[in-house]
Chain A
């Protein structure tokens, strides 16, 4: 198998592009796709301060690496979520990445700074773990960006993530969610813009990028995500992709181009009801935001342990 660009031996076949690539041309493809996403959706201005939400996994480390390669001034933000050894290992990955490249990593620790961890919060609030985790992360990203004076928060959501979320939202016709499933969430209520530069790249491509760039990342799945419905959606979409390459791209990018705006009124109706949380000032539809409610319940609960086994990428 030869590289479609230069005819040297290929290291990866990308069936949705009907192409094979050697390492240098695959890395160039990744940079070009991120640059196109940023340009097409006006994600990041040239002089803006960028904060990359870093988990220690492949996507967040790859997007940080790609933004630096493209010349952006990007700092990282690592959130310690208190998920046992998994958080210890993922934090180590994020720190090593930053240290080896002389990049600045901001750290927030949920147990240290807010008095609870995700397993305990999930159980106390009777939320599924990914819901409690996502809620906490969104709140803490906003808070860290606001405190640090950043213009834009970057997350490592890739094409598979977005296609899986879209799949779930369509299955249940959650029209308010569909109306705000966008690659750019504008700044509002004093909070920064949030952008997803990896929407043109798949999970497999991001894992390949990390291997080829020598980026050490945490390979094993978060122990709290076992049985998560989005993992099942991803498997279903990959089964379709295997027989019809390009389906995930067409599903998600077709939605953005031809359907997304139809759901905007539903999302705007929800946004119109937002007011500052009386405790922390974060936007909420009630008087107290979901994060403050979660924290209140979790601080009064008994700690929940998380048994894990972990693997590094190399």
Chain B
């Protein structure tokens, strides 16, 4: 599957099928700090991603001191 990441922007190829939480563990990403988006909607941790899926892993942490 194609995995789009940000900060910095990059694209990875990852073999599927794979559950969302396993993908995040493999990429060493905290589930509290990102959303996984397939198409136009969110996918929760137990969803099985297919080999031909395209997903975005979007960081959610933002903001300065105020």
Contacts and interface: CB of A to CB of B under 8 A. Distances in A.
A230 interface: yes
Interface string A87-107: 000000000000000000000
Contact of A203 (B7, B42, B46, B61): B61
B66 A204 contact: no
B66 A221 contact: no
Please name the 3 residue pairs, one residue from A and one from B, whose CB atoms are nearest each other, closest first: A134-B66, A130-B64, A207-B60
Interface string B17-46: 000000000000011111101001111111
A290 B40 CA distance: 45
Contacts, number: 104
Report the interface size class on chain B: 20 to 34
Tell me whether chain B's interface is mostly helix, strand or loop, or mixed. loop
A224 B7 CA distance: 14
Tell me whether chain A's interface is mostly helix, strand or loop, or mixed. helix
Given A160-B61, A161-B63, A208-B42, A235 B6 contact: no
A133 B37 CA distance: 32
Interface string A217-229: 0011110110011
A238 B42 contact: no
Contact of A20 (B30, B40, B44): B44
Contact of A219 (B6, B32, B47, B63): B6
A90 to B, nearest CB: 11
B63 A225 contact: yes
Contacts of A231: 61, 63
B42 A212 contact: yes
B34 to A, nearest CB: 8
Given A130-B65, A241-B32, A242-B31, A219 B59 contact: yes
Nearest to B63: A161
Given A23-B41, A219-B59, A133 B64 contact: yes
Interface in B41-63: 41-47, 58-63
9 contacts: A58-B60, A207-B58, A219-B6, A220-B7, A224-B64, A228-B65, A230-B65, A235-B33, A242-B32
A133 B32 contact: no
Contact of B64 (A160, A207, A220, A228): A228
Interface stretch (A10-18, A67-75, A281-289, A299-307): A10-18
Given A207-B35, A208-B35, A235-B33, 4 more contacts: A11-B43, A58-B60, A130-B66, A204-B32
Nearest to B36: A12
Contacts of A130: 64-66
A211 interface: yes
Contacts of B7: 220-221
